[in-house]
Structure 1
């Protein structure tokens, strides 16, 4: 699929965003059995009204039909003539009758595209986008970290949010984060609780979703990371037998997924033998979902790539383009790596030293969108990337590369996976990656 700046009216993006938000709220209400029935009905009726507004007066949709469509392909809700794009094949409710968590990601990613389009649009043509635009939590987090003004303070704050997305009140307090950032650590969400217990994902350390499943003979529990790749591709998915009253569940791991091979194996999480233990809700805090999904999750990959290069002999540089002499290292050092340089102008700057002070530089921006179509639109709306030369996606999103390459070429950007860029950097430095 090829994206061009005139391929689709902006209004179609707005319609999809309105539909996604209304349908997401409705699907959550439809599946939330803990909410009072009258509250669920009120939410469903309000969402139905928003869907009707998005469809327009010429395409009515009875309430009963709206409810039936919530369990099917989301694209069916769109009015005639609106291309489904990133909504193609998306289901709001999964086969177990539960709300599909990827809908949160798509909603947030649509907002990012809206922000980028609004920023790039002139002559007042972005009014409708401005009206629906909402400041996202992770934008506030990053702005709060920048206010401290120094590169070291910013990098420490970003690293802390990735390494400790949930912890005790004491642990969070010791991070010494700016108050505008610290406010996003909140009590454990009820969706991640079994009575007073919760479990941290072994891949990201954020509270995992807990659900109960009833059959005619028994009730069983399921615990899985809210982030689908952690649950399905890394093994952060468990079951448990309902324990006696007052006792925490004991998790049973599922069958381990196949381990990544080749260049992707270096950055892969190995969760085998790692079974999360129950933690009490009292005294613990966790990041709000927006900062966790769009600061913690991609931050883990940024840190993993950074750590992998350090372990292979690269040295930490306070800023890019520093010489061997300035850092006090010898000719056997392959190069330097800087994380979130220039207060997060991009994610990683790697200099591979060659003869003398000559170097080959890699300026990397790591992107982890659930929808590659929305990522492609954002890159196009941004006009490429102001600072980075490479767009890097997680290895498990390798299938998105053909689409992204078609868009990135227009702006002189290169795109590949995290494992492949690590291998390319090490090959340039004459050392082994995998």
Structure 2
């Protein structure tokens, strides 16, 4: 096994993040593809001149995502983050809720809400999500053309779903969407992120106080009961609310718009989803879209707390690690002809939702929303088409979550 010391000349290694090609906006960065071709574990030059490891291989990512020797705590020295170090001080760690905590604390907090996202409970939401989808499409059809699909459907649907699940007034969606956008921006300053998070935390704290006084049948009321039982502080409950509100709409909204645009470029596969009588066709299609698009744009980031030997390399304790899901999901050792969109393939080994104990807790809900939306949209509006050329579409190159700023469509 070979130990690779931190390079003294970082000009010899590629920069991260690396830009996608404007001519292939659905594909990973060409520079990162070239890096993956050279092996599944490599160094890059990144934020602040740091030289973390980038993991691109599917098997290696699967192993590392389940490895307790990697920490998600961004206050650890060496954690690869674009956020200014002054906003990574340990006192700020609780603001990430359990997503930025290691076990056992991560497991304790996660258990409090995991029952809400079981497949059985989420599946019971299907009729309601179908009604919401149809309502938003009705409003699109009744309005002027062209219309921005992001604002008319992609953002409102998951925002309404997570609002009802949490017990958040949907009337406040512009407020939480605006602040969420700052939190997932790759170019916002640490101060801007902190201000946005503080605004959302204060908002959720107020709602939890209301739920404690008058509980309902929603997730914030459940968190309020944990506060009353002394199992959570108000701050912990509020930050958990921020995480769920952010994760519940931002990622799904980007998958809706990006997946819609991608399918419009592949009319035969779009037609197969639209005309599917077998629900398994839709389910498999969604898994392939998740694999192909892999919208977690800056990877899943960790710090090694012990030395780890993998793929002939030694990741030393204290070194940063970036796990690039978009490359793992195009690993030719796992997916045949991985750069081809094929909704008939078995793509269930994809890592779009991460892995290990930190896998996305809301993945059953995200899957359900996509399974409802895509066939409904294309059946209701069979002549749907993009209203601007692909080269004029504004992609979110500047965000942690990849997607579209807007998607003008007509029919």
Question: Which TM-score tier does this pair reach, normalised by the shorter chain?
Answer: 0.3 to 0.5
TM-score (norm 2): 0.32
Which structure carries more strand by proportion? 1
TM-score (norm 1): 0.31
Name which one, 1 or 2, has greater alpha-carbon Rg.
1
User: Which structure ranks higher in relative contact order (CA pairs < 8 Å, sequence separation ≥ 6)?
Assistant: 2
